[in-house]
């Protein structure tokens, strides 16, 4: 759905939150919980990444910590819309940072010093 929507609108960038890292679990079902968490977190991202890559749309993942709080301060929108706008803003900033660091000239060590 997201891939078709991006293709229909002609977007070149999709921002996605990374969400929580690893959930802690213990007890008898620990191994099963770890397996399910890994599947739940990696499979949708891989499918989205592949679909967008086939259509030459970039996928940027950003850490979504405090996105609702910061979004409410920056944007006069409801909570869900403000957090989405903040994640989009972070995605654009990430792409801008990547473009600046890739295009920057690399330092070449002076002859005989390295």
DSSP conformation letters of 17-66: E---------STTHHHHHHHHHHHHHHHHHHHHHHHHHTT-EEEEE--TT
pTM to 2 decimal places: 0.65
pLDDT in tens, the chain (114 residues): 778 888 888 888 888 887 655 566 677 777 777 777 777 677 888 888 899 989 988 888 888 788 888 888 888 999 889 988 888 899 888 888 888 877 655 555 554 444
Query: From CA 88, how far away is CA 94, in angstroms rounded?
Result: 10
Q: What are phi and psi of 16, to 5 degrees?
A: -135, 140
């Amino acid at each position: 759905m997201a891939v078709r929507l991006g293709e229909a609108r002609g977007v070149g960038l999709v921002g996605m939150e990374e969400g929580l890292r690893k959930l802690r679990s213990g007890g008898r079902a620990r191994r099963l919980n770890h397996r399910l968490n890994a599947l739940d977190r990696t499979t949708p991202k891989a499918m989205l990444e592949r679909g967008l890559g086939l259509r030459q749309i970039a996928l940027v993942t950003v850490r979504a910590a405090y996105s609702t709080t910061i979004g409410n301060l920056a944007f006069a929108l409801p909570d869900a819309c403000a957090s989405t706008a903040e994640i989009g803003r972070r995605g654009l900033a990430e792409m801008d940072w990547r473009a600046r660091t890739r295009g920057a000239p690399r330092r070449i060590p002076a002859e005989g010093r390295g």
